Copies of this chain bind each other. A is one copy, B any other.
Amino acid sequence: LGAFHQVAQAEVLINATNGTGSLAALEAAGEAALEGKILLDIANPLDFSQGMPPTLSVKDTDSLAEQIQRRFPALKVVKTLNTMNVMLMVNPGNLQNGDHTVFVSGDDAAARAAVKGYLQSWFGWREDRILDLGALETARGTEMLLPLWLRLFGVFGNAPFQFKVVS
């Protein structure tokens, strides 16, 4: 009930749960509390059950973001920020003055536009480094970046690193 009330009062929700627990967490909040809200989905479907490195519990023909959207059609799911360390999510300027890329995927164009505004106003993302991929299906691509991210973590360790799309 506590979770329901907290979620019901929020304007925007952030799914920062473990990807394999995301659907259960949203179920606990309750469908009624989610109605019509934007969900910034920053989770990744990492499966640690077979050891390290983790694999993906959903991929290629589906994504966690799409699973959430199908289960809760009244939510406006926008996948973003899932391709980087948390310190860079909220402070992109800490690496190369913010000259790296954050991806945005979602089926609701107005929700994607709102999230692009939040990324700029809340966290200081540069508008020209926010890359709108379009439909939520494109989250298959950004979730499948995680296997490379994990291996780059093996190369860089705790030093900050990020993806940038150069064009």
Contact = CB atoms under 8 A, between A and B. Distances in A.
Contact of A151 (B133, B155, B163): B133
Contact of A131 (B60, B134, B147, B155): B155
Interface of A: 50, 55-56, 59-61, 95-96, 99-100, 131-134, 138, 140-142, 144-145, 147-152, 154-156, 159-167
Nearest to A152: B165
Nearest to A167: B161
Given A60-B55, A163-B163, A164-B164, A155 B133 contact: yes
A165 B162 contact: yes
Contacts of A160: 167
A163 B165 contact: yes
> 8 tightest CB-CB pairs across the interface, nearest first?
A141-B148, A161-B167, A141-B147, A141-B151, A164-B164, A138-B151, A144-B144, A100-B166
B60 A147 contact: yes
A167 B150 CA distance: 15
A160 B96 CA distance: 23
Contacts of A141: 147-152
A53 to B, nearest CB: 9
Contacts of A159: 167
A142 B146 CA distance: 10
Contact of A55 (B61, B138, B155): B61
